[in-house]
């Protein structure tokens, strides 16, 4: 049995019963129990997490001790045979339709009177249900564990998606706990980050502001209007380029880094040179890139003046041609 099916069976059973037993006795299958010796019992990590989530103790049956197993195994065989016999001649076109039919027969089986004593299984369970512990607010979610290394951009990459962690952990190995809805990051047993799990196209980012270095948090104080106001002070061509950067992405914030790098160039080269470089770049293509403008500034192309047009000859001037010099030689 795969681990997902094993854990899901427990979650569904607890939901069906409406409570949790204080002790759970399982068999020694490897999906749930890694080791069960006289001195030590080692459970699978996900199985142990499930037990802690529901507040129950798992005490596996001792190997080769059939009396440790509950009598419920015989009942499982009875109910399985009874339901299968009732449905063996029916045809189902979907799994949902089959499950609904099984649920109807299970309800009928549990309410069927006993043959040798009064009552039914449902009536007996009502008395036993009083001893169950209450269910937690949310059901347990199966988790997978992985190891990741924090990259230089203070993000980890898991299943082709990226999640931020505090930048102090750059280059460190961390443990990652994955569920269907969340991603949790642990370092030396302490949780340092938590994100909703990302799905869809690969290489998406989930970034928390608190995880950023101080110099990166400065970008969060900016918006499109502030970039345009700054660019307008430099010149109309710079403003046009900034508007192009802001509109080049589906999400405006993705253009902030390019805008910041462009406008910071004015501190290194001057406002006049940046405006001239933007004008030159716009004359080449309608949508210049940051790289092309920075290349113009580095090469100094923006400082080259237009070459003067050659002067037209005066109608009153004359030019000595080949005939003049030929006569001179003669």
What pLDDT sits at residue 239?
A: 92
CB within 8 A of 152, min separation 6: which ones?
170, 171
CB within 8 A of 76, min separation 6: which ones?
none
What pLDDT sits at residue 192?
A: 95
In the chain, at which residue ranges do the beta strands (DSSP E only) sit? 23-24, 33-36, 41-43, 57-58, 144-149, 155-158, 161-164, 173-178, 182-187, 190-196, 205-206
Instruction: Read off the tokens for 260.
Output: 């910041």
Distance CA 149, CA 165 (A): 11
The parts of the chain modelled with pLDDT lower than 70 are: 66-72, 215-222, 250-254, 305-330
What pLDDT sits at residue 255?
A: 79
What pLDDT sits at residue 307?
A: 47
Tally of CB atoms within 10 A around 102: 15
CB within 8 A of 291, min separation 6: which ones?
none
The conformation of residue 217, written as its DSSP 8-state character, comes to H
In 133-229, at which residue ranges do the beta strands (DSSP E only) sit? 144-149, 155-158, 161-164, 173-178, 182-187, 190-196, 205-206
Give the predicted TM-score (pTM) of the model.
0.50
């Amino acid at each position: 049995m795969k681990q997902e099916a094993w854990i899901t069976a427990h979650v569904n059973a607890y939901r069906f019963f409406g409570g949790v037993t204080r002790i759970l006795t399982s068999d020694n299958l490897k999906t749930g129990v890694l080791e069960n010796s006289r001195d030590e019992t080692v459970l699978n990590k996900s199985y142990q997490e499930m037990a802690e989530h529901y507040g129950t103790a798992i005490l596996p049956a001792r190997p080769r001790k059939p009396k440790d197993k509950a009598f419920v195994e015989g009942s499982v065989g009875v109910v399985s045979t009874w339901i299968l016999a009732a449905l063996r001649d029916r045809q189902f076109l979907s799994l949902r339709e089959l499950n609904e039919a099984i649920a109807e027969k299970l309800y009928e089986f549990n309410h069927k009177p006993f043959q040798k004593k009064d009552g039914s299984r449902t009536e007996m369970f009502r008395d036993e249900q009083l001893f169950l512990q209450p269910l937690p607010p949310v059901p347990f979610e199966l988790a997978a564990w992985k190891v990741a290394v924090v990259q230089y951009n203070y993000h980890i990459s898991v299943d082709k998606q990226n999640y931020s962690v505090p930048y102090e952990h750059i280059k460190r190995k961390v443990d990652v706990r994955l569920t269907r809805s969340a991603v949790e990051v642990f370092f030396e047993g302490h949780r340092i980050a938590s994100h909703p799990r990302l799905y869809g196209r690969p290489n998406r980012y989930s970034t928390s502001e608190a995880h950023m270095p101080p110099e990166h948090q400065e970008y969060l104080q900016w918006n499109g209007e502030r970039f345009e106001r700054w660019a307008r002070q430099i010149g109309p061509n710079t403003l046009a380029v900034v508007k192009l950067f802001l509109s080049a992405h589906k999400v405006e914030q993705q253009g902030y880094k390019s805008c910041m790098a462009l406008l910071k160039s004015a501190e290194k080269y001057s406002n006049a040179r940046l405006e001239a470089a933007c004008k030159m770049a716009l004359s080449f293509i309608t949508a210049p890139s940051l790289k092309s403008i920075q290349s113009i500034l580095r090469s100094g192309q923006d400082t080259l003046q237009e070459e003067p047009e050659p002067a037209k000859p005066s109608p009153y001037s004359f030019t000595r041609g080949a005939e003049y010099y030929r006569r001179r030689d003669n």
